[in-house]
Amino acid sequence: MVSSRIGVVAFQGDVSEHVTAMERALGGEGSVVEVRRAGIVPDCDGIVLPGGESTTIAGHLARTGVGDEIRAAATSGVPLMATCAGLIIISKEVVEETRFLPLGLLDVRVTRNAFGSQKDSFEADLDVEGFSSPYRAVFIRAPAIVGWNSNVEVLAKIEDMAVAAKQDNLMGLAFHPEPTEDLRFHEICLDMI
Ligand code: GLN
């Protein structure tokens, strides 16, 4: 990996934490740029779509054309890490969602707020495919993957729902990998470059 440029979509949500986490994962071997308009994503070697409010972020993506740029980049093989609301936005299908159309990249069916109001926010130790020790994941009004196609590799589950999944250059996480010190998911994203 030679000096990568990572774009963090920055309309709304937990942007600064993702920028900091990605800068730490890069360790000086690249730069992070915040994306709020069209024209930046085509020059990025990797893209992060953070959590936040999926209806709001989806609206900004459609209005600015950044959503179309992400779809084009991801389709041409640029690594894309989408977390929480980001996962909802890149999925093929969102259960009972009529306010926006997801980008239709990750071949999964997602339910918003899958863990219900009683479990609004929680942490869980996940056994993740390929990790030698558990990963402490932070879930905030999190979605879950309730269906997936055979081209999708499930990396972690809670009960019968997937909470981390990968499909070629796309990675979708139901939780937030950016508020923790553990950068293993950011590193997977950078390793795909
Ligand atoms: N519940 C939010 C949504 O449906 C996602 C929450 C998050 O990104 N932390 O958009």
Alpha carbon of 1 to ligand 1 centroid (Å): 32
Residue 1 has pLDDT above 60, yes or no: no
Residue 98 confidence class, pLDDT cut points 50, 70, 90: confident
Percent of the chain with pLDDT over 90: 93
pLDDT of residue 118: 63
pLDDT digits over 109-148, tens only?
A: 999 999 987 678 999 999 999 999 999 999 999 999 999 9
102 lines ligand 1 (CB under 6 A): no
51 lines ligand 1 (CB under 6 A): yes
Alpha carbon of 86 to ligand 1 centroid (Å): 8
| Coil, strand or helix at 75 | helix
CB 172 within 8 A of CB 106: yes
53 lines ligand 1 (CB under 6 A): yes
pLDDT digits over 29-49, tens only?
A: 999 999 999 999 999 999 999
74 lines ligand 1 (CB under 6 A): no
Name the average pLDDT for the chain: 95
For the residues 160-174, what does the mean pLDDT come to? 98
pLDDT of residue 120: 84
For the residues 102-111, what does the mean pLDDT come to? 98
Residue 69 has pLDDT above 80, yes or no: yes
Tokens of 31: 């730069």
- Amino acid occupying residue 22: M
pLDDT of residue 97: 84
Which is higher by pLDDT, 32 or 97? 32
pLDDT of residue 38: 98
91 lines ligand 1 (CB under 6 A): no
pLDDT of residue 3: 80
CB 41 within 8 A of CB 132: no
Q: Given the structure tokens 């981390």, which residue do they identify?
A: 164
pLDDT of residue 91: 98
Catalytically annotated residues: 84, 176, 178
Among 12, 18, 49, 53, say which to mutate for ligand 1: greatest number of ligand atoms within 8 Å of CB: 53
Q: Which atom of ligand 1 is closest in space to residue 56's alpha carbon?
A: 10
Among 9, 141, 176, say which to mutate for ligand 1: greatest number of ligand atoms within 8 Å of CB: 141
88 lines ligand 1 (CB under 6 A): yes
For residue 87, report the phi and psi dihedrals to the nearest 5 degrees.
-60, -45
Give 100-123 as a DSSP string. ------EEEEEETTTTTTTTSEEE
CA angle 186, 112, 162 (to 5 degrees): 55
For the residues 63-68, what does the mean pLDDT come to? 98
